[in-house]
Structures are given as C-alpha cells and as structure tokens.
Structure 1
Amino acid sequence: MDINALFTDEGLRAFTATVRDQHVRDAQQYGQIADIVRSRLEQTPIEGDRWMSKRLRAWKVARQLKAMQKASGEAASKAEALYATYVNEVLELPQRRATAEAKKLERKNSRQTAVGAAVAGSLNKTVTSLNAPQAQAPGTAGQARPAEFVAPDNPWQQWPMAAGGEQAPNRTINDYFAKGEQG
C-alpha cells in the first residue's frame, strides 16, 4: 500500500471501500458462525446438565460471536465515517474558508457602505439646514420663552426640612390631623 496514495481522494476512497467490504464480510461470517455454534451447542448435552443448561451455555458462547459481528459492523461504518471526515476536514476546507472570507468581506463592505450613506445623509441634512433662509432678521437675538411658574406637585417640597432647607418648628401628629370632638 502506497501511503502517499492514501492522502488523495481516490486513494482514501479505495482504502475505505476495501476495509468496509472486508468488515462487512467478516460481520456476515461471524453471524453465520454464531448461529451454527448456538444450534449445535443447544443439541449437544454434557453430563450433569439440567433442563436449561444447554441453551444457557449455547447463548453464552454465541453471544461472544454476536459481539464480534457487531464490532465488525461498527468498524465498517467507521471506515465510511473516516472517508466522510477526510473529505469534510481536508478536501473541502480550502473552499469553505474561501467562501467564509468572501462573506466576511461582503459584510465589511456593506457595513462601510451603510456607514458612508449615514454620514452622507447627516452631512446633507446639516448643509440643508444651514443654507435654509432664516425667519428672523440677521443680527437680532432669538425670542426667549417667557418665564413660567410651576407649582410643585410633590408634597415634600412644602416642608423645607424634607427638601433640605431650614428646619421647621417641631410638629406633632395633631398638627397634621384635625382633633376629634372629645366628649
């Protein structure tokens, strides 16, 4: 086997196909041998056997062959997985990287275009507003809003102590609630 041929698509495909076919054939043979061994041992009594001893013994021996059959089947599927992984991780990797780089460059260019358009729009808006005719005569100051008195909605502003001002004289609860009639 040429090890350099193993690192090509055709070489690895041929290797994995050969290995897969060998394991599939082995798995079939192990299954056939397991069936033959089980049936022969079930029919062959050994002195001192009880009523289920033959079947139990046949099952224990055939179970090992069935495990070999299962392992060969898994090895055949692992051979296919080897080829698929090689194709995915080695052969197709440069193409995937090139595609990812192209997408990244496209996203970068679209972001730069969007930022450029936003800056151009902002500058256009600024220039338009600066060049627009003014409603007031040049050299005059703009009219200020008249002063408004706003009544406090917050009851805490009524008490200087709560607002952080000077302290009011000590009050009691009776100052805040009307005294009831005592009688």
Structure 2
Amino acid sequence: MDINALFTDEGLRAFTSTVRDQHVRDAQQYGQIADIVRRRLEQTPIDGDRWMAKKLRAWKVSRQVKAMQKASEEAASKAEALYATYVNEVLELPQRRQLAAARKAERKQGRQAAAGAAVAKSLNKTVTALTGPTEQVPGAVSQARPAEFVAPDNPWNQWPMAAGGEQAPTRTINDYFANGDGR
C-alpha cells in the first residue's frame, strides 16, 4: 500500500471502503456463528445438567462471539468515521476558513457602517442643537421647565419667589451657627 496515496481523497476512500466491507463481512459471519453455537449448545446436554444449564451455557459461549460481532460492526463504523473526519478536517478546511474570513470582513464592514451612521446622527444632533430651531427669537433663553410660584403665606420663607416677587436675603453659615461670629 502506498502511504502517499492514503493522503488523497480517492486513496483514503478506497482504503476505508475496503476496511469497512471486510469488517461488515466479518460481523455477519460472527453473527451467524453465534447463532449456530447458541442453538447447538442449547440442544447438547452434558451429564449432570439441571433444567436451565444448557441455555445458560449456550448464552455464555455465544455472547463472546456476539461481542466479536459488535466489535467488527464498530470497526466498520469507525472506518466510515475516519473518512468523514478526514474530509471535514483536512479537505474542506481551507474552503471553510475562506468563508469564515469573508463573513468576518462583512461583519466588520457592517459594524463600521453602523458606527459611521451613529457618528453622523450624533453630529447632526449637535449641529441642530447649536444652531437652534428656526422659530426661536435670537437672544431669548429657552426655559427647561416652567417657573414655580410659591404662595405668600409660605411658613419657611426660604424659597425664591417667582419673577418680580420678594426674595429673602441670602443666608450665610453665621445665620445657622451663632458662635461663628464671622471668624
């Protein structure tokens, strides 16, 4: 067998097919032999056997041949798995890597486009906010919230009044702590 031919698609396919077919034939033969051995031993009494001794002895012996059958079936499936793994991990790998690199580049371009759109939107908002809306009178200051009006009978007299009303004088720390004396 040429070892270099084994590392080609056709060479490995031929090898695994040959091995698989051999193991499948062996498994079939082992199954037939196990059935023959079991039936023959079930019908052959040995002096001193009790009522289930023949069947138990037949099962014990034929189970060894059944284990050989199972091992051959598993070897046949492993031969197919060898070929599938070789195709997946060796032959198709360069193509999968190229596809992955193309998808990665596409995602990167999409992220860059999204970031560019977000920056453009932010800049547009900034320009709009700095230039102000067209209906605003130049020089006027817009209020974030309406003025609060406090009733004149406010017991605390500390809140500022609305525009044009009286305001309490600004308090200092000395108003709160008598011992401060302005030091």
TM-score by structure 1 length?
0.72
Q: Which runs of 5+ in 2 are unaligned?
A: 155-175, 178-183
Instruction: Give the superposition deviation at 1:128.
Output: 4.2
**Aligned pairs (5 A) from 1:1-183:** 1-131=1-131, 133=134, 135-137=136-138, 140=139, 142=141, 146=147, 148-149=149-150
Q: Alignment identity in percent?
A: 74
CA distance 1:148–1:3, change in 2 (3 Å)? farther
Number of matched pairs: 151
CA distance 1:33–1:143, change in 2 (3 Å)? closer
Instruction: Give the superposition deviation at 1:124.
Output: 3.0
- SS of the residue 1:142 aligns to: coil
Distance 2:51 2:124 in 1: 100
Instruction: Give the superposition deviation at 1:122.
Output: 2.5
- SS of the residue 2:3 aligns to: coil
CA RMSD between the two structures: 2.6
Deviation above 6 Å: which 4+ runs of structure 1? Answer: none
Instruction: Give the superposition deviation at 1:126.
Output: 3.1
CA distance 1:47–1:121, change in 2 (3 Å)? same
TM-score by structure 2 length?
0.72
Distance 1:143 1:80 in 2: 78
Instruction: Give the superposition deviation at 1:129.
Output: 4.6
Post-superposition Cα deviations, 1:100-147, rounded to whole Å, max 9, x if no partner, equal 11111101101111111221233234334544647334xx46376646
Q: Which runs of 5+ in 1 are unaligned?
A: 152-164, 167-183
